[in-house]
Amino acid sequence: MAEQLIFPGKVDWSGENPGMYLKETADGPFVTLLSFFRVMISPFEPFALKLPPEKSATGKHTMLSVFAGAKDGVATVNGRRLPGHAVPREMAGRQITTAFLAFAESWIR
């Protein structure tokens, strides 16, 4: 049976959550708790993806991410628009384009 690349379920949010739980001594109580939870969200069909090494860009890493496709993309350098536009692309059985957002992308070897 082939490995499932798309995680089942609906992605409600994806983001980063750096935090610090600080104590004055190792066996003492926590005296400072800090969390900065930055949530990235898109209502346009994000999906959780797991690509095994043989399907990842490096060929050496398992890649975990939450993808949201974009309809088009524009690149400008010094105010000058560069040529080209996004075209349809298949990603693990999903139709997106070559313009996308990849949240929380992790490359694991």
pTM over 0.85? The answer is no
Residue 84, both tokens = 């080209």
pLDDT of the residue at 41:
67
pLDDT of the residue at 78:
96
Name the residue type at position 81: R
What is d(CA 91, CA 97) in angstroms, rounded to the nearest whole number? 9
- Taking only the tens place, the pLDDT of each residue in 50-73 is 889 998 889 999 999 888 888 888
pLDDT of the residue at 26:
93
* Residues 17, 23, 28, 30, Cα dihedral to 10°: -40
pLDDT of the residue at 44:
62
pLDDT of the residue at 94:
86
Structural domain boundaries of the chain?
A: 1-13+41-71+81-109
